[in-house]
Amino acid sequence: MEKFTVHQGVAAPMLQINIDTDAIIPSREMKLVSKQGLGEGLFAGWRYTLPNGREPNEDFVLNQAQYKNSSILLAGDNFGCGSSREHAVWALKEYGIKAIIAPGFGSIFYHNCIRNGILPVVLGNDEVLALANHVEKDPQTCQVNINLLECYVCAYNTDHQSTELEATDSVNETLRFSFSILPAQQEMLLEGLDGIALTLKSKSNIASFKQAYQRQYPWLA
Amino acid sequence: MDKTLFEKIWQHHLVQELDDGAALIYIDRVFLHERTGSIALKSLEADKRKVVSPEHVFCTMDHIVDTVIGRGDNTKVPSGKNFILATRDACIDARIKLFDVNDPQQGIVHVVSPELGIVQPGATLVCPDSHTCSQGALGALAWGIGSSEAEHALATKTLRVSKPKTMKVNFNGQLGFGVTAKDMILHLIGKYSAAGGAGYVIEFGGTAVDALDIEGRLTLCNMAVEFSAFTGLVAPDDKAIAYLKGREYTPKGALWQQAVAFWQSLYSDEHAQFDKTIEIDCADISPTITWGNSPQHACAVDSVVPFAPADATQNQLQALNRAYEYMDLPAGSALKGLPIGAAFIGSCTNSRISDLRLAAKVLKGRKVAENVNAICVPGSTTVKRQAEAEGLDKIFIAAGFEWREAGCSMCFFAGGESFGYRQRVVTSTNRNFESRQGPETRSHLASPATVAACAIAGCIADVREYL
Ligand code: SF4
């Protein structure tokens, strides 16, 4: 899995609350027995003018020129609620989304993000709004920077930089918010770790638990 | 110290505390279906990993399979057949019990699992499907996961889980005439929002839950995820034990006695502390229907589409305006009398035998209104056979309903069959999300009895006038 440490990019605001996984990837777009081939179907119901069509709907935020190459979403509360379909995360990933910042997430969706290297960041409603206000000034230059090592998000103006990325100069310190994430989830993202491999380190624990468990609850054995 | 039911089950399955408040939890049963199970099994194989206890894994064909009479492996869903074939092959390779397309026990996972006694009190059960919470109705800790987590459970027999907080929701008093479990859960979500249960495992209790039969409790727990809860559950009582007795996968003989003795210890102790408690007075619950594009847009069937509250935030206003627009229903519109184009009875929420019996009671001797496309899809082949043995199919068909084979069917639109463009549908399912049942279809969630009444009336109707 790809590692996530620091990411900076164009952020698109989609502040409507309760955006569900059916909206992120409609069922009709999940055509293959595969985790691939889903990026095109991302937000298909909103992104294209017709169901099953491919003509871009110019009103949809990700289709607008100023939001070209968005890699971060600024979302409303309860983003990714609804269906457990991991396809929603696979579609976001294939599209190029690296992180989503919202006041809250659907819980299955949140875990699916972590398992696929996408960083879900929980910030307060006002903080997300502040970032959206920053971005809307000029999305291509008013970007967002996310640091998972130190767990903060800040506004970032590419204008302020000379030729090279100089994080200290270009960071607009007035918009800097810290966030929290469970250490194991942080580690999985930072290291690009696979949860199964991590758990299999506890293999002998699991085996001895299983033995005792099956003695105690033989009808489930 | 007094413990909640959830804490007891958690403790029984705790393999190891992880250093971050999460834990490694032992998983008793995994259920798969052809839509996500096929991908999980394929991906596991590609990573050269094995299903460690295939005898504890089950799979059904429900999401993509056609529900038309005479179906086979071909599907109306484009490329659906690939999912069916891939699932069948993967199940054979991994030696997993599969309820295949024309198996007499095939059906929707959350209908099949309780009806065969695969889910049991005090057990942990996961499935890559968000409505796995339904199965908490039997006192199990059952929750929906993603495909990667399913791979994790299959390969390790455990999951890494952050411990949820606990909530008790008490439904006090008695349900009014024409009010069902579906109305209870819609009422709860309508009152406390679609995010009201976020972060919690919810134990449903109170006199009205005690009075529900198991199928009603399955409906109640089914929509815990629509409340954003980690899952829902109900303490197993004598009804749960009687329900399970003799079912195919429940223990038999001495093991049954032993299991029952254990199940009787599964309840929240008298002084157990919940992180949050909600009290609902059932006298406040009417037959309920949704008007918008989120399950929280629920109100009494005889009321009007609500106006935005004065304290609504910008985001909330935006969502409300979108809902009014999408549903073509301005605030203040009466729901009763609103013409509909279709009626659907089915899904893991409301497609069990008691649901069909109740709907049939409304339909008996009546006719579906002209221009209403009415469809009934039993939740499992077992339910279908039982309904046919009772002659319910004849009542549905005589009224003008289509009578189908079991499956998820038009609970969601997968590119095959669907309701019409912007068509107004009254549906016994659990999600009224945009385009969930077809391109820009306008779905109104309600109990199966209400759906039947609306089908007859040709418009949104109050079921109490039809019972
Ligand atoms: S009936 Fe609908 S909600 Fe239930 S499992 Fe099938 S698709 Fe999901």
Structural domains in chain B, sorted by start: 5-164+238-260 (3.30.499.10), 165-235+268-284 (3.40.1060.10), 290-465 (3.30.499.10)
CA distance B90 to B82: 12
Which residues make Cβ contacts (< 8 Å) with residue B231, sequence separation at least 6? B132, B133, B136, B141, B142, B143, B144, B164, B201, B202, B221, B224, B225
Whether B131 lines ligand 1, by a CB cut-off of 6 Å, is yes
Identify whether A41 is part of a domain. Answer: yes
CA distance A96 to A155: 20
Strand, coil or helix: what is B240? helix
**DSSP labels, B294-358:** STT-EEETTSBPPPPPTT--HHHHHHHHHHHHHHT--TT-BSTT-B-SEEEE-TTTS-SHHHHHH
pLDDT exceeds cutoff 60 at A171: no
Provide the token pair at A133: 């206000």
One-letter identity of residue B149: E
Identify whether A209 is part of a domain. Answer: no
Tally the domains of chain A. 1
ipTM of the complex: 0.93
At A170, the pLDDT band (50, 70, 90 cuts) reads very low
Identify whether A211 is part of a domain. Answer: no
CA distance B305 to B435: 20
Identify whether A199 is part of a domain. Answer: no
> Is A176 in the B-facing interface, judged by CB distances under 8 Å?
no
Identify the H or E element spanning B149. helix B147-156
Q: How much is the average pLDDT of A30-34?
A: 88
**Are the Cβ atoms of A16 and B319 closer than 8 angstroms?**
yes
pLDDT per position as a tens digit, A101-138: 999 999 999 999 999 999 999 999 999 999 999 999 99
Pairing type for strands B424-427 and B442-445 reads parallel
Strand, coil or helix: what is A31? coil
Identify whether A173 is part of a domain. Answer: yes
Identify whether A212 is part of a domain. Answer: no
CA distance B29 to B399: 40
CA distance A109 to B116: 29
| CATH number of the domain bearing residue A69 | 3.20.19.10
To the nearest 5 percent, what fractions of chain A are helix, strand and coil?
40, 20, 35
**Distance between Cα B289 and ligand 1 center (Å):** 19
Identify whether A33 is part of a domain. Answer: yes
- Give the one of A30, A104, A196 whose C-beta lies nearest to B155's C-beta: A196
- Spell out which residues of chain A touch residue B26, defining contact as CB-CB under 8 Å: 206, 209-210, 213
> Is A37 in the B-facing interface, judged by CB distances under 8 Å?
no
In this prediction, residue A173 carries a pLDDT of 55
Provide the token pair at B60: 């059904």
Whether B203 lines ligand 1, by a CB cut-off of 6 Å, is no
Query: Whose CA is closest to atom 2 on ligand 1?
Result: B411
CB B240 within 8 A of CB B263: yes
**Are the Cβ atoms of A16 and B322 closer than 8 angstroms?**
yes
Identify whether A83 is part of a domain. Answer: yes
**Are the Cβ atoms of A31 and B78 closer than 8 angstroms?**
yes
Identify the H or E element spanning A135. helix A125-137
Pairing type for strands A6-14 and A142-147 reads antiparallel
Share the mean pLDDT of chain A: 91
In this prediction, residue B414 carries a pLDDT of 86
Q: Distance from CA of residue B389 to its chain's centroid?
A: 25
CA distance B210 to B83: 40
Residues 238-297 of B with CB under 8 A from A: 250-251, 255-256, 258-259, 262, 294, 296
**Are the Cβ atoms of B152 and A199 closer than 8 angstroms?**
yes
At A159, the pLDDT band (50, 70, 90 cuts) reads confident
**DSSP assigned state of B176:** P
CA distance B152 to B157: 7
pLDDT tens for chain B, 467 residues long, are: 899 999 999 999 999 998 777 899 999 999 999 998 889 999 999 999 999 999 999 999 999 999 999 999 999 998 899 999 999 999 999 999 999 999 999 999 999 999 999 999 999 999 999 999 999 999 999 999 989 999 999 999 999 999 999 999 999 999 999 999 999 999 999 999 999 999 999 999 999 999 999 999 999 999 999 999 999 999 999 999 999 999 999 999 999 999 999 999 999 999 999 999 999 999 999 999 999 999 999 999 999 999 999 999 888 899 999 999 999 999 999 999 999 999 999 999 999 999 999 999 999 999 999 999 999 999 999 999 999 999 999 999 999 999 999 999 999 998 899 999 999 999 999 999 999 999 999 999 999 999 999 999 999 999 999 99
Which residues make Cβ contacts (< 8 Å) with residue B98, sequence separation at least 6? B58, B59, B60, B61, B87, B88, B91, B92
> The domain containing residue A146 runs over which residues?
6-194
Q: The dihedral of CA B2, B7, B10, B16: what is its sign?
A: negative
At A169, the pLDDT band (50, 70, 90 cuts) reads very low
Identify the H or E element spanning B38. helix B37-46
